[in-house]
Amino acid sequence: MKHRLLLLILFVFATSVAGWAQKSTAPSYTVKGVLIDSLTQEGEPYATIKIAKKNAPDKAVKMAVTGANGKFQEKLNVAAGNYIITISSIGKAPIVKEFTLKPSVKEVDLGTMISSEANNVLKGVEVVAQKPLVKVDVDLSLIHISEPTRLGMISYAVFCLKKKKDLVCRLLLAKNNV
């Protein structure tokens, strides 16, 4: 009986110490704001939010998205200091804003941020397509060979038609006009 009581007391002590150690690591802060589209003046839905330390902007402390109305409210369990928030959305220029977390202020309101259209322009788009090598219908197969089979003045195009069990091949010779 004494052993069970001793084990129970030891278990309660160990769990309370572990709980105390986890709670004392970092204070909890709240960062909130609203992202508005500059053209429509409506909330920008589902924009990506990245919060990082100012001295390590590539290492994210928290990643999130804005709500359907453009609002966000994120809880941070980090130490006080200087941070950067980057908000990006497809077709919009990224918004970068610095803020400071202080032990005396647990909630930081970044206010209303306005997203503008990105000015990225593509130089050009090339669409490449290729005719299928084999076309199969109900009772007909058509095979295209459009590359020249030999170098020189003559190029060959072969069209093979297969209808049921008969195979008909036509060889078309076309001389290149040089």
Give the pLDDT band of residue 13 (cuts 50, 70, 90): low
Cα separation, 42 vs 35, whole angstroms = 8
* Residue-wise pLDDT tens digits, 125-136: 888 877 666 666
Indicate if the pLDDT at residue 177 is higher than 60.
no
What does pTM read for this prediction? 0.56
* Residue-wise pLDDT tens digits, 101-146: 999 999 999 999 999 998 877 778 888 877 666 666 666 655 555 5
> In degrees, to the nearest 5, what angle opens at C-alpha 73 toward C-alphas 70 and 75?
155
As to burial, measured by CB atoms within 10 angstroms (0-12 exposed, 13-18 middle, 19+ buried), residue 93 is middle
Give the pLDDT band of residue 97 (cuts 50, 70, 90): very high
